[in-house]
Amino acid sequence: MIDLEEAQHRSKTNLPSFLPSEGDNGSTRFKPAQKPSPKTSAKSKTGSVCIPLFGGDGFVQRLHRSLMKFKTPALSIFSCKTLSKTTKSLMASTITQTQTQTLQSDPPEDIDDTLCCGQPREERNGEQEIPFAQPDAASFGSGSPSRCLGGQSHIERAWAHWSALGRPKLIVAPMVDNSELPFRMLCRKYGAEAAYTPMLHSRIFTENEKYRSQEFTTCKEDRPLFVQFCANDPDILLEAARRVEPYCDYVDINLGCPQRIARRGNYGAFLMDNLPLVKSLVQKLALNLQVPVSCKIRVFPNLQDTINYARMLEDAGCSLLAVHGRTREEKDQKKVRADWNAIRAVKNSVRIPVLANGNIRHLDDVQNCLEVTGAEGVLSAESLLENPALFAGYQTAELAVGNEESNNGRKLDQADLLVEYLKYCEQYAVPWRMIRAHVHKMLGHWFRLHPHVREDLNAQSRLTFEFLYSLVDQLRELDVRIPLYYKDTHIRRVSTDGLATGT
| pLDDT reported for residue 78 | 28
- Tens-digit pLDDT profile for residues 28-39: 334 333 344 444
Helix (H, G, I), strand (E, B) or coil at 312: helix
For residue 112, name the pLDDT band (cuts at 50, 70, 90). Answer: very low
* Predicted local confidence at residue 291, as pLDDT: 98
Summarize the confidence of residues 138-162 as an average pLDDT.
65
14 vs 381 pLDDT, higher one? 381
In the structure, what pLDDT confidence band is assigned to residue 397 with cuts at 50, 70 and 90? low
CB-CB contact of 236 with 203 (8 Å): yes
CATH no. of 4-33+100-392: 3.20.20.70
Residue 466 has pLDDT above 50, yes or no: yes
Query: Cis omega before residue 224 (within 30°)?
Result: yes
* pLDDT tens-digit map of 172-214: 999 999 999 999 999 999 999 999 999 999 999 999 999 999 9
Extents of the domains making up the chain: 4-33+100-392, 414-482
- The Cα-based distances of 174 to 159, 229, 245, 385, 457 in angstroms read 22, 10, 17, 11, 26
Instruction: Please tell me which residue, 25 or 412, carries the higher pLDDT value.
Output: 412
Residue 396: is its pLDDT beyond 90? Answer: no
Q: What is the three-class DSSP state of 34?
A: coil
Of residues 61 and 278, more confidently modeled: 278
Which of 337, 335, 295, 338 minimizes the C-alpha distance to 318?
295
Residue 49, SS3 per DSSP? strand
What average pLDDT does this structure show over 133-150? 41
Q: How many CB atoms lie within 10 A of CB 15?
A: 11
Separation between Cα atoms, residue 467 and residue 165, nearest integer Å: 40
Q: Which residue has the higher pLDDT, 348 or 148?
A: 348
87-91, 216-220, 483-487, range with greatest mean pLDDT: 216-220
The residues annotated as belonging to the active site are: 257
User: Which H or E run contains 355?
Assistant: strand 354-357
Helix, strand, coil content of the chain in percent (nearest 5) = 45, 10, 45
Find the helix packing angle between 465-477 and 414-427, rounded to 10°. 170
The more confidently predicted of residues 234 and 100 is: 234
How far is the C-alpha of 470 from the C-alpha of 482, rounded, in Å?
Answer: 18
pLDDT-derived band at 80 (thresholds 50, 70, 90) equals: very low
At residue 2, the pLDDT reads 41
Count other Cβ atoms within 10 Å, centred on residue 246: 18
Query: Which pLDDT does position 335 carry in this prediction?
Result: 80
Q: Name the residue with higher pLDDT: 489 or 181.
A: 181
pLDDT over 90 at 46, yes or no:
no
In percent, how much of the chain has pLDDT > 90?
54
Instruction: Check residue 483 and report its DSSP letter.
Output: B
Greater confidence (352 vs 129) lies with 352
Q: Taking all residues of the chain, what is their mean pLDDT, rounded to a whole number?
A: 74
HEC sequence for 184-245: HHHHHHCCCCEEECCCEEHHHHHHCHHHHHHHCCCCCCCCCEEEEEECCCHHHHHHHHHHHH
Q: What is the pTM for the complete model shown?
A: 0.71
State the average pLDDT over residues 443-452. Answer: 89
- Which tens digit of pLDDT belongs to each residue from 228-285? 999 999 999 999 999 999 999 999 999 999 988 898 999 999 999 999 999 999 999 9
Torsional class of 45: left (φ above 0), alpha (ψ -120 to 50), beta (otherwise): alpha
